[in-house]
Amino acid sequence: MAILVGLMSVGLLAGCGGTEADAEAPVQAMRPPPCEYACELARNYCLRNAPTAEAAAACHAEYDLCTSECPAPL
């Protein structure tokens, strides 16, 4: 029993089984720049409320116009 407790304490001290501090960093790095993100939000809202295929096509056209007005990434 003492050996098991000793091994568990060594594992905890070494960081085994703990949560990684930067576990969310890759997800945040994948988010588009603010302008493109705003365009995506507007397109998604438009598509959810589009009653016809023509309205959905208009949503995509508005999205293309929106993203064309965004500044180029550095």
pLDDT at 21 over 80: no
Residues 28-65 pLDDT 10s = 667 788 999 999 999 999 999 999 999 999 999 999 99
Cα distance from N-terminal residue to C-terminal residue, the chain: 58
Residue 39's Cβ-count burial label (10 Å; 0-12, 13-18, 19+) is buried
pLDDT at 67 over 60: yes
Q: Determine the pLDDT at residue 72.
A: 83
> Any idea where the domains of the chain sit in the sequence?
30-74
Q: Distance between CA atoms of 52 and 17, rounded to whole angstroms?
A: 50
> Beta strands of 1-74 (E only): which ranges?
none
Q: What is the pLDDT of residue 58?
A: 97
